[in-house]
Structure 1
Amino acid sequence: MTNSIKTVLVLGGTGRTGVLVAPLLRERGLTARAAARSNAEVRFDWDDPATQRAALDGVDGVYLVAPVPRVRYAQQVAAFLDLAEEADVRHVTYLSTYRGEQAPETMDFRAAEAELRDRTAFTHTILQPGWVMQNFADHHVPIIDDTLTVPAGAGAEAFVDAADIAAVAVETLIDPAAHAGRRYVLTGTEALTFDQVARTIGAVTGRPVTYQDIDRDTWVRAVVATGFVPADYGVVLDWQTASIATGNGSRPTGDVHRVTGRQPTSLADFARRAFPAAEDALTG
């Protein structure tokens, strides 16, 4: 294998996957520049094109994480990709979302994917992960008073570990020719209902964790009210949870194994790793 990629700009360098991608690339012999608005090696601000141009200097590959939590960002991604072309970037791996190409036009998942596919100056790979398991160990979908509350009914989702997403991303950047034009749907080993998630976490932690369904509008309004996401991001939360509740959540695809050569992390294994260090997430 002859890799044309030597230096990778890792956007979202302090985020859940970017913080893992950069060191993994370095372990494989590439130069990785972790980029974010703050607390990263390279300053990168989606609202400041000057930082983007500087961050791209000397870069061959990009791990592209769109600005979050935003609903409309396709134009910003397009402008950044223009700069990437000018900088002679050779490959872009884009972190999208499950069924991003089918997302409602009220959000820009589909538009950003299309923008990338239309480019011919560099190759690309699109990653479409399901819900990440880390949601249960941080403040995205916290377990409060031993209760997991999400408007998903009996719907199932093949939750995926952020570490598995990062591992796939690294392979696409190590050997971009082998993954050019590919779209990988990244999932865990099995589709689980939220009730099964609660029972799995409960079994690992020794606590009686239970699942509670809730009215979707009520839940979205409550999340927005916390200030954790802006008001317009509620449409994304509504779409994602409705997809699961209606039986359209992600199902195991085998893409993690196909790209990395190893099976993805199970929820039980993730819980054993995550919850001893995140016990406060269970206590409320």
Structure 2
Amino acid sequence: MTHVLILGATGNLGTATARALTDHFPDVRLRLASSRPAGVAKLQAAFPAAQAVQADWYDPASLLKAVEGTDKVFIVTPDFVTDELQVTPNIINAIKRAGGTSQVIRFTAIPPGLTAHDLAPEFLATRCGANLHTLAKPLLDASRLPVTYINAACWIMFNLPWFVANDVKTKRQFIMPSVSDAPRLHLSELDIAAVAARIIADPAAEHVGQDYLITGTERLDYRQISALLSEVIGETVTYVDSDSTLREILGDYFEPVMTYYRHEVEAYKDVPVTDTVQQLTGR
């Protein structure tokens, strides 16, 4: 029986993966970690059959305790607040000390071939998106652990409602600054979770050593998304070039995110379309 630890279980992708495993692979035993007591309580309430534990990836002792007794570890780190140069070595050391880990699954969002050496210091300093992951991946590559990467080098769909839903609902306007616009590949967090659950449930040997690039199937810019929304709701949704809503939502994170966008719109434009989601999920 597979026993998996999900680090980052209270985040969007961690929770979605725990739900996909619970619904479709009930034989997988879940250990779900949060750094906060409130997060542990939330996870235990949402997943009563799982074991919710408190583990802080800045605290090696708590990490070791969380890893012990599991044979797979799924890692999802949040933007902005993660120091990958400290967190990733802590996780690697805990896994090595615990022993018995057959597979480490790491979520990334790196355009193929992009490395930290390609990024200007101002972009790395944002601690956002692939900037974090380009620091973590070389450490995992050098660790000699049995790693599988799930690399979603595209926009995850939960970004859209977070940024634009209220304006679409109340004003029928899609409000985002044009400097952040690009023909992007979009992928649902539920599809990412389905891929992660499939990989976790499968025998480790089927996926160890793989770096799976998963993407959406169609490039869409802001005006095309506005047109799709208009078609779906039967009312015109107009794209508005403004940073007002984004500035309000992001607060102190606005400037780092805008700095990140100036890099992201270029780095992601040539990401190839893949059918990896379809291959791994069988649908």
The normalised TM-score by structure 2 is 0.77
Judge conservation of contact 1:69–1:230 (CA < 8 Å) in 2.
Answer: no
1:146 matches 2:169: no
- What stretches of structure 1 of length at least 5 have no aligned partner? 263-284
Judge conservation of contact 2:13–2:76 (CA < 8 Å) in 1.
Answer: no
Letter paired with 1:44: A
Work out the CA distance in 2 between the residues paired with 1:195 and 1:56: 46
Judge conservation of contact 1:124–1:181 (CA < 8 Å) in 2.
Answer: yes
Judge conservation of contact 2:163–2:249 (CA < 8 Å) in 1.
Answer: no
Work out the CA distance in 1 between the residues paired with 2:238 and 2:160: 13
Match of 1:109 in 2: 133
Letter paired with 1:34: L
Pick from 90, 104, 115 the counterpart of residue 102 of structure 2.
90
SS of residue in 1 equivalent to 2:151: strand
Change (3 A) 1:12 1:205: farther
Letter paired with 2:139: E
List aligned pairs for 1:33-52, cutoff 5 A: 33-37=31-35, 38=39, 39-40=42-43, 41-52=52-63
Pick from 127, 135, 159 the counterpart of residue 150 of structure 2.
127
Pick from 7, 11, 18 the counterpart of residue 15 of structure 1.
11
Judge conservation of contact 1:127–1:183 (CA < 8 Å) in 2.
Answer: yes
Match of 1:191 in 2: 219
Match of 1:253 in 2: 274
Change (3 A) 1:24 1:153: closer
Letter paired with 2:251: T
Judge conservation of contact 2:13–2:193 (CA < 8 Å) in 1.
Answer: yes
Change (3 A) 1:207 1:11: farther
Work out the CA distance in 2 between the residues paired with 1:32 and 1:25: 8
Judge conservation of contact 1:155–1:193 (CA < 8 Å) in 2.
Answer: yes
Work out the CA distance in 2 between the residues paired with 1:53 and 1:78: 12
Match of 1:281 in 2: none
Judge conservation of contact 1:100–1:110 (CA < 8 Å) in 2.
Answer: no
- 1:107-148 per-residue CA deviation (whole Å, 9 max, x = no partner) reads 33212111111222x3111112111112112x2455523332
Work out the CA distance in 2 between the residues paired with 1:225 and 1:158: 23
Work out the CA distance in 1 between the residues paired with 2:231 and 2:77: 36
- 1:57-110 per-residue CA deviation (whole Å, 9 max, x = no partner) reads 211111101243336423211121111111122211111114175152623321
Work out the CA distance in 1 between the residues paired with 2:257 and 2:57: 17
Work out the CA distance in 1 between the residues paired with 2:104 and 2:244: 35
Letter paired with 1:134: F
Work out the CA distance in 2 between the residues paired with 1:76 and 1:243: 25
Equivalenced residues, count: 249
List aligned pairs for 1:266-277, cutoff 5 A: none
1:31 matches 2:56: no
Match of 1:275 in 2: none
1:163 matches 2:161: no
Judge conservation of contact 2:246–2:254 (CA < 8 Å) in 1.
Answer: no
SS of residue in 1 equivalent to 2:178: coil
Identity of aligned residues (%): 24
The normalised TM-score by structure 1 is 0.76
Judge conservation of contact 2:64–2:97 (CA < 8 Å) in 1.
Answer: no
SS of residue in 2 equivalent to 1:35: strand
Work out the CA distance in 2 between the residues paired with 1:233 and 1:193: 18
Judge conservation of contact 2:110–2:134 (CA < 8 Å) in 1.
Answer: no
Letter paired with 1:170: A
- What stretches of structure 2 of length at least 5 have no aligned partner? 44-51, 125-130
Change (3 A) 1:166 1:221: closer
Judge conservation of contact 2:181–2:222 (CA < 8 Å) in 1.
Answer: yes
